[in-house]
Amino acid sequence: MSDLLESLRADLEKRQTLGLIRQRRLLDSPQAEHITANGQPFLSFCSNDYLGLANDAALVVALQQAAAEAGVGSGASNLITGHHRYHDQLEQALAAFVGQPAALLFSTGYMANIGVVSALMGREDAVFSDKLNHACLNDGAFLSRATHHRFPHNDVAALEKLLQASTARHKLVTADAVFSMDGDIAPLAEYLALCERYDAYLYVDDAHGFGVLGPQGRGSLKHLGLQSPRLIMMGTLGKAAGVAGAFVAGQQIVIDYLIQHANSYIYTTPAPPPLSAALLASVKEIEQGDARRKQLFDMIALLKSELSLTRWHLLPSETAIQPLVVGDNHEALALSQYLQARGILVPAIRPPTVPVNTSRLRISLSAAHRESDVRALIQALHDAERELAIGAVA
């Protein structure tokens, strides 16, 4: 027997020693490329606001107007009286935008993933997940009580072996479309072909592709040209869409089933209606957002072509997530702190969010960044490599 609080203290002290304590910052400005955090101005490469919509005037006005008209609270869960016309309109707009028959809103991506996987899968079923999937997909598999197989990152052959050997009643393959800490795109066409061959379904988490990839930002499935009744997708609305929440889109029967069975949909109060009104404005901005996406991809190209380091390396990512792998926890933290001292915020991501010895700076780019912002980051990283001797940071 040990005292609970003593165990908590021991855990926190150990984390501190290992350089694994995670700190919150107090943001005191809108989310943007230039922010005020802990009372100081910073150039930020931290947010997932890939299109610069989090502080967009059209969204703010839509939210204000809807709040004046519809109030701020949803008041009850969706199946009681909480499902507002704005929620309904947004579901229809999102389904049409991603080219799926139907869509269902959840309050967050986390709630969507745990709700969908645990509703669709049960004890006699099997879930197959990429090892680098987002934590909430794993939590969903755990909650479902299905057998959970985790295959090596992007390893199509390993997935095929697992599917071939499985005698489960139903099979669901789950993958991030764009991996949140690596930025690479999953081989979804290959996964879908395997699903067709082995009678499985594919659940794609497009948290980081929706709004950014595909024609008019319609997401990773459109980017890869994939369409199938075996596909179910999830898109988050707090990243490129700039607000909060998530949606699941797929066959009408899947959506109807989720309304009856997804606990994180049923037993919770939906996000306030004005957020859906802001998101309706956001979907329009995304659809008409080619100039924003061009700016974002120009910034990605600039960073990739001009950053020239020998000690740390960018992972091969074509998306807004550009991870700079450092390896050691303390060194990643020291590099992040060095940049911070120069007024630039880039988060150091350490285990358990990423595998041991792959601590990294997760650089995320946005259409809100200007060329001078990205050049300032490149310059600071070049200086860091010169000034931070390995011994000095260990």
Is 208 annotated to bind ligand?
yes
Minimum distance from residue 4 beta carbon to ligand PMP (Å): 28
> Can you list the pairs that 185-190 forms with residues at least 24 positions away whose Cβ atoms lie under 8 Å?
185/209, 185/213, 185/220, 185/223, 185/224, 185/318, 185/319, 186/130, 186/154, 187/154, 187/156, 188/220, 188/221, 188/224, 188/226, 189/224, 189/225, 189/226, 190/156
> By rule CB under 6 A, what string of x and - marks binding of each residue 313-342 to ligand PMP?
------------------------------
Q: Which of 91, 125, 205, 285 binds ligand PMP (CB under 6 A)?
A: 205
Q: Which of 43, 95, 207, 255 binds ligand PMP (CB under 6 A)?
A: 207
User: Residue 56 is encoded by which pair of tokens?
Assistant: 């967009």
Rounded Cα–Cα distance for residues 50 and 37 (Å): 19
How many residues bind ligand PMP (CB under 6 A)? The answer is 13
Q: Which of 56, 176, 285, 331 binds ligand PMP (CB under 6 A)?
A: 176
Tell me how crowded residue 341 is: count the other CB atoms within 10 A of its CB.
9
User: Residue 206 is encoded by which pair of tokens?
Assistant: 């497009």
DSSP notation for 61-118: HHHHHHHHHH-S---S-IIIII--HHHHHHHHHHHHHHT-SEEEEESSHHHHHHHHHH
Find, among 164, 169, 175, 168, the residue nearest to 140 by Cα: 175
Q: Which of 100, 118, 154, 236 binds ligand PMP (CB under 6 A)?
A: 236
Is residue 274 within 8 A of residue 60, CB to CB? The reply is no
Minimum distance from residue 85 beta carbon to ligand PMP (Å): 23
Minimum distance from residue 237 beta carbon to ligand PMP (Å): 7
Minimum distance from residue 205 beta carbon to ligand PMP (Å): 5
> By rule CB under 6 A, what string of x and - marks binding of each residue 112-151 to ligand PMP?
-x--------------------x-x---------------
Rounded Cα–Cα distance for residues 102 and 115 (Å): 17
Rounded Cα–Cα distance for residues 175 and 318 (Å): 18
Is 236 annotated to bind ligand?
yes
Residue with the closest Cβ to ligand PMP?
A: 109
Find, among 264, 176, 265, the residue nearest to 219 by Cα: 176
Is 166 annotated to bind ligand?
no
Rounded Cα–Cα distance for residues 238 and 107 (Å): 10
Minimum distance from residue 238 beta carbon to ligand PMP (Å): 5
Is 36 annotated to bind ligand?
no
Task: Give yes or no for a cis peptide into 352 (omega within 30° of 0).
Answer: yes
Q: Which of 138, 180, 264, 268 binds ligand PMP (CB under 6 A)?
A: 180
> By rule CB under 6 A, what string of x and - marks binding of each residue 70-109 to ligand PMP?
--------------------------------------xx
Is 353 annotated to bind ligand?
yes
Rounded Cα–Cα distance for residues 198 and 120 (Å): 17
Minimum distance from residue 144 beta carbon to ligand PMP (Å): 17
Q: Given the complex with ligand PMP, which of 104 and 380 has the nearer CB atom?
A: 104
Reported as type and span, the H/E element at residue 42 is strand 40-44
Residue 189 CB partners (closer than 8 Å, separation 6+): 224, 225, 226
Is residue 220 within 8 A of residue 178, CB to CB? The reply is yes
Amino acid 55 reads N
Question: Rule CB under 6 A: is residue 185 a binding residue for ligand PMP?
Answer: no
Minimum distance from residue 224 beta carbon to ligand PMP (Å): 17
Q: Given the complex with ligand PMP, which of 347 and 384 has the nearer CB atom?
A: 347
Which residues contribute to the site for ligand PMP (CB under 6 A)? Answer: 108-110, 113, 134, 136, 176, 180, 205, 207, 236, 238, 246
Which residues fall in the annotated binding site?
A: 22, 109-110, 134, 180, 208, 236, 353
Which residues fall in the annotated binding site for pyridoxal 5'-phosphate?
A: 109-110, 180, 208, 236
Which residues fall in the annotated binding site for substrate?
A: 22, 134, 353
